[in-house]
């Protein structure tokens, strides 16, 4: 249970801090898109003979490549973010289905449910090590670039005129989001991971009057939602991933009430 709480809060914090920028840029759908791209990557790993756990190492570069593809299409400016994400989402998922179908009949069966919904209670020490490394990587990258990323999110053109390397930051944001999603799929699954990105950030957006406060609130909501959801699911003996999302959804509803007042 302690490992599950550590994993859940790490994923909650990572997704929230990236989610602030993703949501503010109107790219909320990208979490879903990259999660489904991760499915394509995991399926490719399985086709190559890896276990579900080791297939993550194939999904990682696959999903990062998809994120850079979306970033490239967005930069060309001829397609809206949701359309670009939708195309990559569908193609990656279709590839995943194709890869699974191409596996030999003798291959061991895959627990699709664990890929779709995660298995946070089955997180092992090695998974925690990987998450710790990703936490350090993403935390450092975001701490170093936060002020420039914020400026580029406000207005890319003005930021560029002030010398901010907007394109490189765009690529970095989507690539880090891809990395975090692939790591998070193990714990919360493909179907629910985008909620970790969108809900805390959207709730914090209603409460904060400056971007750094929004970021702080989002992290607190992500970590708090994950911890409270896990504890509730443990005591009520219900699905952990779904309970976490429902707790985050309740925070969002409370945020709406607070905002109205």
Partner 1 sequence: MERVLVADDVTVRLGGKLILDGISFWIPKGEFVCLCGPNGAGKSTFLKTVLGIIEPTSGAISILGKPAGVAQRAVGYVPQRKTFDQDFPATALELIVANLRGKWPIRVHDAERERARAVLQRVGGEALIDKPLAGLSGGETQRVFLARALVTDPALIILDEPTAGVDVRGRQEFLDILWEISASDELAAILVTHNPAAIARCAERVVYIEKKLIAWGLPDELLGKSSLSAISYARTTRTPGGVIAPDED
To partner 1, the closest distance from the beta carbon of 135 in angstroms equals: 21
Choose, by CB under 8 A, the member of 14, 17, 70, 164 that binds partner 1: 164
Q: Which of residues 60-89 bind partner 1 (CB under 8 A)?
A: none
Q: Binding of partner 1 at residue 211 (CB under 8 A)?
A: yes
205 part of the interface to partner 1, by CB under 8 A: yes
Cα 118 to its chain centre, rounded Å, is 13
Among 52, 54, 148, 242, binds partner 1 (CB under 8 A): 148
Binding residues for partner 1, rule CB under 8 A, total: 24
Q: How many residues does the chain have?
A: 261
Instruction: Please state the closest distance from residue 163 (CB atom) to partner 1, in A.
Output: 5
Q: Which is nearer to partner 1, 152 or 247 (CB)?
A: 152
Taking CB under 8 A as the criterion, the residue among 9, 153, 177, 194 binding partner 1 is 153
- The two structure tokens encoding residue 226: 């994950």
- CB of 219 closer than 8 Å to CB of 212: no
Half-sphere exposure (CA, 13 Å, Cβ side) for 234? 12
List the structure tokens of 94.
Answer: 């279709």
If binding is defined by CB under 8 A, does position 161 make contact with partner 1? Answer: yes
Q: Give the nearest distance from C-beta 140 to partner 1 in angstroms.
A: 17
- Cα 201 to its chain centre, rounded Å, is 12
Q: How far, CA to CA in Å, does 187 sit from each of 48, 139, 221, 222?
A: 23, 19, 18, 14
Q: How far apart are the first and last CA of the chain?
A: 38
Q: How far is the CB of 21 from partner 1 (least distance, A)?
A: 11
């Amino acid at each position: 249970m302690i490992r599950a709480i550590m994993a859940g809060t790490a994923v909650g914090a990572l997704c929230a801090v990236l989610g602030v920028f993703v949501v503010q840029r109107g790219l909320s759908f990208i979490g879903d898109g990259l999660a489904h791209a991760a499915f394509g990557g995991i399926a490719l790993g399985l086709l190559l003979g890896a276990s579900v756990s080791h297939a993550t190492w194939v999904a990682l570069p696959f999903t990062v490549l998809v994120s850079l593809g979306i970033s490239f299409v967005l930069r060309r400016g001829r397609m809206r973010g949701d359309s670009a994400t939708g195309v990559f989402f569908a193609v990656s998922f279709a590839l995943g289905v194709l890869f699974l179908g191409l596996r030999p009949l003798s291959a061991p069966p895959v627990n699709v449910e664990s890929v779709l919904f995660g298995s946070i209670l089955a997180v092992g020490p090695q998974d925690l090590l990987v998450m710790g490394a990703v936490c350090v990587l993403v935390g450092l990258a975001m701490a170093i670039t936060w002020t420039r990323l914020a400026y580029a999110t406000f207005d890319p053109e003005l930021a560029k005129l002030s010398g901010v390397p907007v394109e490189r930051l765009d690529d970095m944001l989507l690539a880090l989001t891809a990395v975090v999603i692939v790591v998070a799929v193990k714990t919360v699954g493909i179907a629910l991971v985008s909620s970790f990105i969108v809900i805390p950030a959207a709730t914090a957006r209603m409460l904060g009057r400056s971007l750094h406060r929004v970021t702080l609130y989002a992290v607190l909501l992500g970590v708090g939602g994950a911890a409270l959801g896990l504890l509730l699911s443990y005591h009520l003996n219900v699905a952990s991933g779904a309970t976490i999302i429902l707790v985050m959804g309740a925070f969002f509803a409370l945020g709406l009430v607070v905002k109205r007042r």
